[in-house]
Amino acid sequence: MNVTFCGHAQVVQTKQVEEWLYTTTQGLIEQGATTFYLGGYGAFDNLAASVLRAQKRRYPQVELILVLAYLETAKDISGYDSTVYPPLESVPRRFAISHRNRWMVDAADAVVAYVLHDGGGAAQ
């Protein structure tokens, strides 16, 4: 099972969201989730990656994949098992993240979302 995450760049109540993510990801892993697609931008993405790294210590079979929006990136990929670059070559750079996000949702069997308002990319 493939899982991805969508959430706001800013996180309020970080501790509660972290606990929720831990419980949610543990349940998904116990249901057979093995592959987790992560975007690597913003507080929610970083929090999800942190929780999954902790889960990986308990469930070493899980795979954390950083989904890149740009090929030319100086993004730190340590802490991920691998990276993937969706077919975005023909997408204008300013739309790359939204197209990457759409690809992540389409490629997932489950989406874990942290959306508190209807503005921004997380709500889309």
Whether residue 25 contacts residue 55, with contact meaning beta carbons closer than 8 Å, is answered with yes
pTM (global) more than 0.85: yes
pLDDT at 26 over 70: yes
Which pLDDT belongs to residue 123? 46
The highest-level CATH class for domain 2-114 is: alpha beta
- The residue that leads in pLDDT, 30 or 120, is 30
Which pLDDT belongs to residue 77? 84
> 65, 53, 63, 7: which is closest to 33 by C-alpha?
63
Domains of the chain: which residue ranges? 2-114
Neighbours of 3 (CB within 10 A): 24
Rounded Cα distance, 96 and 124, in Å: 14
Residue with tokens 């892993």: 29
Cα separations in angstroms, 37 against 12, 13, 118 = 22, 23, 23
Rounded Cα distance, 76 and 99, in Å: 21
Q: Mean pLDDT over residues 17-45, rounded?
A: 94
Whether residue 16 contacts residue 114, with contact meaning beta carbons closer than 8 Å, is answered with no
Tell me the residue type at 117.
H
Sign, CA dihedral 61-108-81-79, equals negative
Q: Which residues contact 93 (CB under 8 A, 6 or more apart)?
A: 70
